Structure 1
């Protein structure tokens, strides 16, 4: 099994917490209930009054005179991650429409209903910002992907911009969490979340030890209106390998490119995936695959191993604060158990992230109980 890129979480956390206004060094309910007082960037308890200095993923240094209270998020994972780090939606001022859709469809809108009232018309689908709409909100900071063509219009308008990278690695989640925690004046929150994620990572890695020639898994980022799969260098490829499985789109006869790649039916038939994962960026469900004559020869269809990826506080398929739950879910999908302990983990993790305990019915919704019920071994997830 290929190990995921090494970058010590302890090193990252140390970089956050060292010194007075520590820079974040990176390598690659509506108010919620807080976990008690957190040190500010200046190291003082309770939110702090001193300036906060950070370094974003472009390497640009930014200084805030106080913890931020108004944040516009354009990258899709950023809105829900901000809420999780802050344990509140109070400081989310606007978000990408796709982030809002995930909140409305998933459980985030139930946990933090005021988040659904936040403006979500501030960027195009390709993340091009609506600068005038954002300026009208007068935010403390705008979170944007690091591409210069996306950040420059905002900075030219006098807005303060923090650049996020998306390298398809777990380190991105760590860096985003650290940046948010630092800007909010809650650096210990990043340490708390990253330490827990690290524990879950070690658990999954331990489960994967000794697994060889795992099932061929194919993740569809898009299935309706054109096929797009996750090849090398994606976060989906990371967690497929993490659990000891194989990415059907990678290898000598794979997609032939890195990233999210458009493919045709013949390529998929040639790969013959043993497990198909349908992402949350379109409406495709397992029944759509099972009913289509085109796919009947594929092992995943013949063996009823097509699954809709869960959707919780955010989509589980891209990187985000609930990614450790995705790792456990995929591990049990790939290597079925008589009974999965995922539901217990979900309850515990939601308490940590959101100070919220999901009901059994809410967990059914997150796990797409009805959509996945006819797929093999899914009963392992459906009881506590």
Structure 2
């Protein structure tokens, strides 16, 4: 399945064309109207999506809806002016994002246990709907059903599962071409590669018995987690940590329930969490007092705004979360990594927001707000 999709991706990127050209690129694989006159007289082009489906889409797009957080966040990072709405409500008190984007409506989508509303999206009349997919199986049938429900609005299938977790970047490149923002996509690809290469070159030779042991605490009590191999705990794997969670991998939304006795038995050196409520209580909770990470005050709350850096939502913004995770796990190995500068650059380039010094301090020290 992956090999087939990889071939499709290469072909897909070749056939994205601009309607005003009046002709297609001279390639071996072309998907264009039968006559150049049709193309010249219309405002549409033909493309191939990441599942190999042939679609007719507007030659110029000004409004885009994506039905899952990874794709929505990618559109925001690459072409924010074309994003029409969010899949989820951001409840954080300090959202480092221009109000033009915070005011976009919450339109839902199809991800986790969430079910979107077709009528809401159809009423917005977007140029295209980007449908993210992450699993094999009957993907085509599901997306065909989505297309039938959206009627004349083209549904473009995009592989959410490879936005972040691999070194290759076909999704970012594909969406960059699709939305005519290739330069911005290339910036993101370069930033991502730079961070991943630095992390990999630093941690790849750490012996297994010298890797720091890590527990990912989820939920307000910290007693839900995800083991190694889960998309939700992938930053630990990428940064050379040893995920202590010896528990089943819960498909989809993850968050496997565990007990405090299990955590005490695993006795992690480091705990990372995305839950401010858990962080605010962990050092004063007697249940956790015997855990090595708590005793040595190595419990770290991930930065939260405008999206959590390490998980939920998943998306290409997690690249900054890997830099943060690497610094938390191995501070002595990443002394040369300038996290404040990386954060300023990332927010300016991809979140379209210039952080003040106070905002940067607040962002990188979320535990101060959590402990209030």
> TM-score, with normalisation over the residues of structure 1?
0.73
Alignment of 1:38-187 (within 5 A): 51=45, 53-56=47-50, 58-86=51-79, 88=80, 90-98=81-89, 100-101=90-91, 105-108=94-97, 112-123=98-109, 126-146=113-133, 152-153=145-146, 155-158=148-151, 159-167=153-161, 170-171=165-166, 174-187=169-182
Q: How many correspondences in the alignment?
A: 328
Distance 1:363 1:346 in 2: 8
Equivalent of 2:200, from 183, 198, 205? 205
Distance 1:54 1:172 in 2: 23
Select the structure with the greater relative contact order (CA < 8 A; seq sep ≥ 6): 1
Alignment of 1:312-323 (within 5 A): 312-318=305-311, 319-323=314-318
- Tell me if structure 2 keeps the 8 A contact 1:216–1:245: yes
- What stretches of structure 2 of length at least 5 have no aligned partner? 26-42, 134-138
Q: 1:216 to 1:155 in 2, by over 3 A?
A: farther
Q: What's the CA shift string for 1:63-97, capped at 9, x where partnerless?
A: 323132111223123333212111x3x21112212
Larger radius of gyration: 2
Equivalent of 1:311, from 296, 304, 328? 304
Distance 1:117 1:284 in 2: 26
- Tell me if structure 2 keeps the 8 A contact 1:350–1:358: yes
Distance 1:16 1:355 in 2: 31
Deviation at 1:315, TM superposition (A): 1.9
Equivalent of 2:340, from 319, 339, 343? 343
Deviation at 1:59, TM superposition (A): 4.0
Aligned to 1:332: 327
Deviation at 1:293, TM superposition (A): 1.4
Aligned to 1:224: 220
Distance 1:20 1:160 in 2: 16
Q: Secondary structure at 1:324's aligned position in 2? A: helix
- Tell me if structure 2 keeps the 8 A contact 1:50–1:65: yes
Distance 1:54 1:145 in 2: 15
Deviation at 1:320, TM superposition (A): 2.8
Distance 1:66 1:230 in 2: 42
Q: 1:52 to 1:184 in 2, by over 3 A?
A: farther
Equivalent of 2:267, from 248, 268, 272? 272
Q: 1:152 to 1:128 in 2, by over 3 A?
A: farther
Q: 1:121 to 1:199 in 2, by over 3 A?
A: closer
Equivalent of 2:247, from 255, 260, 279? 255
Aligned to 2:35: none
Distance 2:296 2:159 in 1: 38
Q: What's the CA shift string for 1:218-250, capped at 9, x where partnerless?
A: 223x3226733122332344321222211111x
Task: Detail structure 1 runs of 4+ shifted over 4 Å in the superposition.
Answer: 147-151
Q: 1:101 to 1:139 in 2, by over 3 A?
A: farther
RMSD: 3.5
Q: Secondary structure at 2:344's aligned position in 1? A: helix
